[in-house]
Amino acid sequence: MTHRLFPLPVVLAAVLGAVLPVHASAQSTAQPEPNGPTITTMGDGVVRRAPDRAFIDISVENRAKAPRDAQAQNADAMSTLQQKLRAANLLKDAVRTIGYGVEPEFDFTNGRRVLRDYVARNTIEVRLDDLNRVGEVVDLATASGATSVGDVRFDLKDRQAAEREALGLAVADARARAEAIATSAGRPILAIWRIVEEGASVPGPRPMMAPAGLRAESMAPTPISAGDIEVHARVTLTALLK
């Protein structure tokens, strides 16, 4: 399983050393267009790293006829779950609440909406820096009252370093493409006029869900395979020819 990460759009000012002025953005002060023939190429860079951080979303849901009852039941269930997680020696800042709500649920009878009950839902995010414990925490959560465990995500602690490396590779790729075109055309490259990073996005890993009422003691230990993370960068390079 390979996860792809893309850095946010940014303009590279001087990746190749001394280059001509670079446009910071479409809204910046307009730069003069190059005086002479140009070549525009795109370059891609990919860096693969083994992830060293994981995030797990864990939810507890409770239903009752009255919202206060749903809230109270949910508070008890989430307290029990968090006590079990703390007892598992997780880092103090590794657990945080990312969602909470109480809302009515309805049935439709003879074309009419009829209140069925209220559902209280509390979702926490658990961060793990030891990937060997991901399956353990999933099983602990389901055994401790969690009604769903979803969106297990893997990441890098130092993602920026991988992004910068991918950007360097993308620039080198774009430059090599420009050199190949220029050589074939018999026009050497005079200077790099502009380099712009192209933003992109890719869907993350599909959520892994544990159905309501599932208990870890009735299951085999949960196997988790992180695979590698791919950090992708793409740039557009414009070169001025002699």
pLDDT of residue 13: 37
Residues 6 or more apart whose Cβ sits within 8 Å of residue 44: 169, 170, 173, 232, 233, 234
Say yes or no: 30 and 57 in one domain: no
pLDDT in tens, 149-174: 988 999 999 999 999 999 999 999 99
pLDDT of residue 16: 38
User: Does residue 62 belong to any structural domain of this protein?
Assistant: yes
Question: In the numeric block, which tokens belong to residue 62?
Answer: 């409770």
pLDDT of residue 216: 41
**Residues in the chain, overall count:** 242
Say yes or no: 146 and 79 in one domain: yes
Say yes or no: 162 and 150 in one domain: no
Mean pLDDT of the chain: 82
pLDDT of residue 86: 92
- Which residues on neighbouring strands pair with residue 104, listed in sequence order? 118
User: Does residue 219 belong to any structural domain of this protein?
Assistant: no
**Cβ atoms 50, 1 nearer than 8 A:** no
Structural domain including 20 reads 2-50+158-202+231-241
Say yes or no: 43 and 58 in one domain: no
Say yes or no: 137 and 69 in one domain: yes
Residues 6 or more apart whose Cβ sits within 8 Å of residue 211: 148
We report the CATH number of the domain holding residue 80 as 3.30.70.2970
